Structure 1
Amino acid sequence: MQDVKLIATDMDHTLLTEAGELPPAFGDKLDALKAKGIQFAIASGRPLYTLKALFPKHHDQMVLICDNGAVIADHGQVIAKHLLPQATILDICATVTRQVNGHPLICGLDGAVGATADQQFDGVFREFYHRLTYRDDLQSWSGEADKVTIYLPDGNAEAVFEQLIKPRYGADFSAAVSGPVWIDIMPKNINKGTAMAQIGQRKAISADQMMAFGDTFNDAQMLSYVRYGYLVANANPGMAAYARYRTASNDDYGVVQVLDQVLAAN
């Protein structure tokens, strides 16, 4: 592990506990990694403004891979931004609400937008999208957005992905299951793996010098790309083929256990 120069982790069900909390004294780990010259990155389906709020003292010293790679910020500077066409966004919203028990959120760069009829899920949405507004008709929306996320309260995200989202949008856009109740759709060729490659090129860090942690399918490309890809013990069983290594669960602070090994080796 002495050759590790860049470490990235997913947030939900990976770094964060099931209670949605960071490991104790995690800021101290970030400071220790910085002192060793190791770059740390958050790779999440969450937007930039939410990730900044979660790391108020450290976000300017980190790389933030947001919305599964659609936006990348390096030490406070946005270095990549990939937008979905408005027509596609509106088509996704109409298709989902018409064909399944799904509730789309338009992930704008400055805030998310949902349908007024979906305000019953505000507590769920706002955990991930701190800036959130509603409108009566999503088809009247216009603006810049890099992702549509779909909330599926029935917990059938994998089935909806295979039956509806992948056949309709998979060829032209990047789509992934990001949890039992979530599906994300981004511009084509945008994922956490391509984001890691872009950061590596920018910082002259090879995939062999990278480590990453994840739990579900929107982490697959990232875990496959890096040399040291770790699944937490609570990961989706279908992810077994995408990572070489295993660590403890999020509630047992599996990410921190490996970070301690990296710090000891350096």
Structure 2
Amino acid sequence: MENIRLIASDMDHTLLTEAGQLPPHFGRTLDALEAAGIQFAAASGRPLYTLQDVFGERSDQLALICDNGGVVSYRGTIIHKQLMAAHDYQRIARFVQEHTDGLPLICGIEHAVGARKDQAFDAVYREFYHQLIFVDDLPAWSGEADKVTIYLPHNNAQQVFDEAIAPEFGADFTCAVAGPVWIDITPKHINKAKGMSLVGRKMGISSEQMMAFGDNFNDKEMLAYVAHSYLVANHNPSMAGAAKYQAPSNEEYGVQQVIAKVLATRNH
């Protein structure tokens, strides 16, 4: 662990508790990492503006891999932005509305965009997308966007993914189950590993000097990319074997426990 220079963690069900909270005193952990010369990265399906809200004034000392790699910010500066073509996200939104029981959200760079008929789910959406608008005709909206996320209120994300999303879009986009009620669709070759490689290039380090934590399929490429990979104990069972090591669950603050061990190696 002595050579670690970059530690990345997924947010939901990994770093955050089930109540959506950071581990206690995590700000102190971030300060300790900074003092040790170790860069922390939040690698999430959440957008930049939401991650900035979560970490507040410390966000400018972090790497933020947002929208599964669609936007990457390094210490306050956006170093990568991969937009989707309007005709692509419009087609995806229309397909989801017409052929699934899912509800599409177009993830704009400045705000997420939902269908006005789905406004009853505002509170669910806004937990992850702090900037949110609703429009009458979602597949007609156009603007800068880097992802489509699909909310599955019937808890059937894996089934909808297998039966509809993967067959329709898997060849042309990166599609991943992001939780029991979420599916993410991003441009081809965009994922959290791509984000890690961009941050590594900025820092002048290799994947051998990286550690990452995750729990679900949108973490899979990142966990394969880094030398020190961890699944939290509460990971999706289908992800078994996707990482070299296991950390305690998010409710036990497993990410913070492992980081404490990394920091301990610096204090010897």
| TM-score normalised over the length of structure 1 | 0.99
- Structure 1 residue runs without a partner (length 5+): none
Q: Secondary structure at the match of 1:241?
A: coil
Q: Residue in 2 aligned with 1:4?
A: 4
* 1:1-150 correspondence runs (5 A): 1-150=1-150
The answer to whether the aligner puts 1:164 opposite 2:158 as a matched pair is no
* 1:247-258 correspondence runs (5 A): 247-258=247-258
2 CA distance for matches of 1:8 and 1:139? 34
Q: Residue in 2 aligned with 1:226?
A: 226
2 CA distance for matches of 1:80 and 1:128? 21
* 1:177-256 correspondence runs (5 A): 177-256=177-256
1 CA distance for matches of 2:26 and 2:57? 11
2 CA distance for matches of 1:171 and 1:139? 21
Shift of the alpha carbon at 1:199? 1.4
Question: What is the one-letter code of the residue matched to 1:76?
Answer: G
Shift of the alpha carbon at 1:99? 1.1
2 CA distance for matches of 1:203 and 1:168? 38
Q: Secondary structure at the match of 1:133?
A: strand
- Structure 2 residue runs without a partner (length 5+): none
Q: Secondary structure at the match of 1:242?
A: coil
Q: Secondary structure at the match of 2:18?
A: coil
Question: What is the one-letter code of the residue matched to 2:234?
Answer: N
The answer to whether the aligner puts 1:263 opposite 2:258 as a matched pair is no
Shift of the alpha carbon at 1:198? 1.7
Shift of the alpha carbon at 1:159? 1.2
Q: Secondary structure at the match of 1:251?
A: helix
Question: What is the one-letter code of the residue matched to 2:13?
Answer: H
Shift of the alpha carbon at 1:200? 1.2
Shift of the alpha carbon at 1:241? 2.1
Q: Secondary structure at the match of 2:223?
A: helix
TM-superposition CA deviations, 1:85-118 (whole Å, max 9, x none)? 1111111111111111110001000000100100
Shift of the alpha carbon at 1:75? 0.6
Question: What is the one-letter code of the residue matched to 2:91?
Answer: D
2 CA distance for matches of 1:221 and 1:87? 27
Question: What is the one-letter code of the residue matched to 2:36?
Answer: K
2 CA distance for matches of 1:244 and 1:232? 11
1 CA distance for matches of 2:129 and 2:139? 20
Question: What is the one-letter code of the residue matched to 1:202?
Answer: K
Shift of the alpha carbon at 1:140? 2.4
Q: Tell me which stretches of 4 or more aligned residues in structure 1 moved more than 6 Å.
A: none
Shift of the alpha carbon at 1:186? 0.5
Q: Secondary structure at the match of 2:150?
A: strand
| TM-score normalised over the length of structure 2 | 0.98
Give the number of equivalent residue pairs.
266
TM-superposition CA deviations, 1:125-169 (whole Å, max 9, x none)? 000001101011113211110000000011111111111111111
2 CA distance for matches of 1:207 and 1:198? 11
